[in-house]
């Protein structure tokens, strides 16, 4: 970048899983990155309020997201906080906005998906150049059962274990794709579904890989999808009198969605792995092998339901 001024990037959500990957990749690419957040950031700011940040930036990258996915938090963070960031970006002359969204918004059934879509619409109608990155499943979301099967408990699948599939993407491959959006003109003013390398993977494929890496057979326990629906409706009714039950109902609804919908491009009639773009080199199964070899646990955070 000698002789060219280095682009100044304002990064929101840098303390999250995807945000950490984006931070690493933006730094490696040579950008001047400033993290803005409520903690562990160069600029501490409350994104739920109109932003008053005097510093000037060329690009906003947002990996900000509701940690719980609950209805109120999703609208507060995935929608309203992003509107605050967008208004500040427009006021201060930021030219470009790269938004981390999610592939599941293509078939929106959950409040957090509606909130994300509402902000995506506002961004596309703004004056800024935008890239809306909609990744498939993250590795952490597909690693929740490693500890179970290590303890010789069965691997849980919904239906027969092949109801859904995804092309998992690593934090660093996603980070590099986000960083690529800064200067790759073909990624500007685009909505970009993106998966990791290789073929689509079902839950049964995950169990088979874990069995091979652990060197032990894994029992598969099939959970009927109808059971998830019954649990959700029970909690929803209990939620009329208990806010705890209402919060659990939200989680059960999210769980049901991910038990039945694939994280692949939806063509209007079916999920299609072949038209789901791939990027990067890091595979979920290499990651499993590493976690098992190192005997470590995966930190999954509040999004553990998906």
How many residues in the shown chain lie near ligand NAP by CB under 6 A? Answer: 27
Q: Which of 15, 114, 129, 278 touches ligand NAP by CB under 6 A?
A: 15
Counting contacts by CB under 6 A, is residue 30 touching ligand NAP? no
Instruction: Please report how close the Cβ of residue 283 comes to ligand NAP at its closest, in angstroms.
Output: 15
Counting contacts by CB under 6 A, is residue 17 touching ligand NAP? yes
Question: Could you give the CA distance from residue 244 to residue 246 in angstroms, rounded to a whole number?
Answer: 5
> What are the two backbone dihedrals, phi and then psi, of residue 183, each rounded to the nearest 5 degrees?
-115, -5
Q: Residue 148, Cβ neighbours under 10 Å: how many?
A: 15
Counting contacts by CB under 6 A, is residue 25 touching ligand NAP? no
Q: Which of 29, 59, 64, 110 touches ligand NAP by CB under 6 A?
A: 64
Question: Could you give the CA distance from residue 122 to residue 131 in angstroms, rounded to a whole number?
Answer: 13
Q: Which of 141, 143, 206, 262 touches ligand NAP by CB under 6 A?
A: 141
Instruction: Please report how close the Cβ of residue 40 comes to ligand NAP at its closest, in angstroms.
Output: 7
**Chain centroid offset of residue 234 CA:** 28
Name which of residues 96 to 135 contact ligand NAP (CB under 6 A): 100, 102, 135
Counting contacts by CB under 6 A, is residue 283 touching ligand NAP? no
C-alpha pair distances (Å), 14 with each of 23, 169, 230: 6, 18, 37
Q: Residue 123, Cβ neighbours under 10 Å: how many?
A: 23
Question: Could you give the CA distance from residue 163 to residue 19 in angstroms, rounded to a whole number?
Answer: 30
- Given the rule CB under 6 A, which residues bind ligand NAP? 13, 15-19, 37-39, 47-48, 63-67, 77, 100, 102, 135, 137-138, 141, 301-303, 306
């Amino acid at each position: 970048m000698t002789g060219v001024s280095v682009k100044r990037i304002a990064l929101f959500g840098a303390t999250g899983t995807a945000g950490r990957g984006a931070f690493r990749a933006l730094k490696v690419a040579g950008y001047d990155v400033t993290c803005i957040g409520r903690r562990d950031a160069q600029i501490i700011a409350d994104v739920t309020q109109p932003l008053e940040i005097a510093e000037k930036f060329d690009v906003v990258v947002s990996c900000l997201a509701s940690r719980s996915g609950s209805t109120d938090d999703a609208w507060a963070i995935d929608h309203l906080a992003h509107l605050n960031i967008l208004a500040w970006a427009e006021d201060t002359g930021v030219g470009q906005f790269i938004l981390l969204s999610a592939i599941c918004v293509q078939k929106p059934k959950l409040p957090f998906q509606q909130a994300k879509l509402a902000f995506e619409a506002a961004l596309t109608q703004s004056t800024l150049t935008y890239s809306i990155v909609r990744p498939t499943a993250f590795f952490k979301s597909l690693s929740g059962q490693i500890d179970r099967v290590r303890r010789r408990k069965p691997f849980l699948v919904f239906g027969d274990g092949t109801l859904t599939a995804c092309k998992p993407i690593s934090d660093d491959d996603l980070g590099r794709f986000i960083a690529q959006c800064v200067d790759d003109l073909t990624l500007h003013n685009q909505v970009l579904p993106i998966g990791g390398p290789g073929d689509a993977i079902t839950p049964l494929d995950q169990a088979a890989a874990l069995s091979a890496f652990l060197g032990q057979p894994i029992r598969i326990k099939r959970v009927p999808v109808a059971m998830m629906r019954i649990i959700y409706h029970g909690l929803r009714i209990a939620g009329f009198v208990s806010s705890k039950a209402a919060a659990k109902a939200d989680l059960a609804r999210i769980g049901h969605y991910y038990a039945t919908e694939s994280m692949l491009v939806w063509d209007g009639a079916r999920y299609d792995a072949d038209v789901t773009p791939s990027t990067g080199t890091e595979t979920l199964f290499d990651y499993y092998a590493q976690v098992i070899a190192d005997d470590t646990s995966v930190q999954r955070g509040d999004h553990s339901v998906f």
